[in-house]
Amino acid sequence: MSTTPPPQAPLTVVPRPDHDGRGADDGALGWLRALGPRGRRAFAGAFGGYALDSYDYFTLPLSMVALAAYFGLDSGQTGLFTTVTLVVSAVGGALAGVLADRIGRVRALLLTVITYAVFTVACGFAPNYETLLVFRALQGLGFGGEWAVGAILVAEYASAKHRGRTLGAIQSSWAVGWALAAIVYTVVFSVADEALAWRIMFWTGALPALLVVWVRRSVHDAPEAAAARERSPGKGSFRAIFAPGAGDAPGLLRTTVFAALLSTGVQGGYYTLATWVPTYLKDERGLSVVGTGGYLTFLISGAFTGYLTGGYLTDRLGRRRNIWLFALLSALCILAYANIPAGADTLLLVLGFPLGFCMSAIFSGFGSYLAELYPTAVRGTGQGFTYNTGRAVGAVFPTTVGFLADSWGVGGALVFGAIGYGVAAIALLGLPETRGKELA
């Protein structure tokens, strides 16, 4: 295995002809037409994979109250579910990234989807807390890898001009999966006893099996990127993304360190909210199951809109400015959301939309930004490692909230998530702007 890092490709803006003869700026969906037929199939596969990844992830936080009652768990133990999932996802994401560089994007995508689906279903059969913790950890192996692999697959089809919007649309599928999980949760917990309902939620995690069949037959790697990857002797090298550089070769160590720090801050803030808002609404605000689903509708609607808006802005403002903007706004929203006075449930409802909007819009640039920071031969390795290291280290945030909840209350402890966005803003100081970069 080569230890020499592949050279960084220069940042160039070279117009890429549209695959079906139409102008790249032709209408609001020009970015989708520019992908061409094969690129649109790749988009559909990555969109579906990430939506179902989200669905399988949210089966846990939505069922958290029922699980705590069933197994007699305290806040620290329930928070550990999320921590274990995210820590193991770092391993899964790093491995999936290497596999994406060595065996191809589509094959790696299939492996991640199968893994998270199988172990989500297995969670529904867990007889005790310890077994459920193990199954949830193994689910994290697939959960950690899917986004990075799917994002790279689509990024390599997308034009430089529209890559932010294209990957922002992929990110929006997270809100689609989240919404589906909230709907299923509302129905299942309304018609079944809690002792059985949480198991049913996990069993519905078998849905991705249908996607696997279609992706295997219809989706292929971007030809130019696949050819460039195959020509490189150093593809999938961990050593390459940690090489400090020498002579004219810039190295990737600095990029890897700051990209991982950026991911840690953003995901620490995000997973704090994603894990604890349902519990906060039900336990501290006294909302019913259906009421909680109604409040989450505003949060999820804001998230979906935020992903699409953030994708547009990351193309217009640049990757770094977009992340800076929404790091600030997300931190402010957390502080406001956690300090709404008792009884002001209408305000809680209204503020859910901007909260979901801001904490999701910051993610829209991640798919394009991380892909553009790394050369083709180690794009999967770099993106998989940095994004999922952020998940693992960021997992400390929801666990900390779990332990602080007993003394501070969940609402007060949520403020801890705002610290993550401050970390993300600082990390950007060590990273370049990459808007307009073509990917081989």
pLDDT in tens, 45-84: 999 999 998 998 889 888 988 999 999 988 788 878 877 8
Q: Which long-range contacts (CB under 8 A, 24 or more apart) does 22-30 make?
A: 24/159, 24/161, 24/162, 30/162
pLDDT at position 12 over 80 = no
pLDDT at 274 over 60: yes
Cα–Cα dist 281/264, whole Å: 26
For position 259, what pLDDT does the model report?
96
Tokens representing residue 183 in the block? 């709907």
Q: What is the pLDDT of residue 293?
A: 65
Half-sphere exposure of 185 (CA within 13 A, CB side): 28
Helices (H), 35-74: 36-62, 64-71
pLDDT category at 124 given cuts 50, 70, 90 is very high
Here the tokens at position 48 are: 């579906």
* Cα of 232 vs its chain's centroid, Å: 28
- What are the φ and ψ backbone dihedral angles of 246, each rounded to 5 degrees? -155, 135
Tell me: pLDDT of 152 over 60: yes
For the chain, percent of residues with pLDDT exceeding 70: 85
pLDDT value of position 246: 63
| Residues 6 or more apart in contact with residue 162 via CB below 8 angstroms | 24, 30, 31, 34, 315
In a 3-state reduction of DSSP, which class is residue 246? Answer: strand
Q: Which residue has the tokens 């989708």?
A: 32
Q: Which residues contact 305 (CB under 8 A, 6 or more apart)?
A: 353, 356, 357
Cβ atoms 262, 390 nearer than 8 A: yes
> Residue 433 — left, alpha, or beta (φ > 0 → left; ψ -120 to 50 → alpha)?
beta
What is the chain's length? 440
- Which of 144, 204, 162 minimizes the C-alpha distance to 43? 162
- Torsion, Cα 30 34 40 44, to 10 degrees, reads -50
How far apart are alpha carbons 301 and 381 in whole angstroms?
32
* SS3 assignment, position 249: strand
Which pLDDT belongs to residue 224? 86
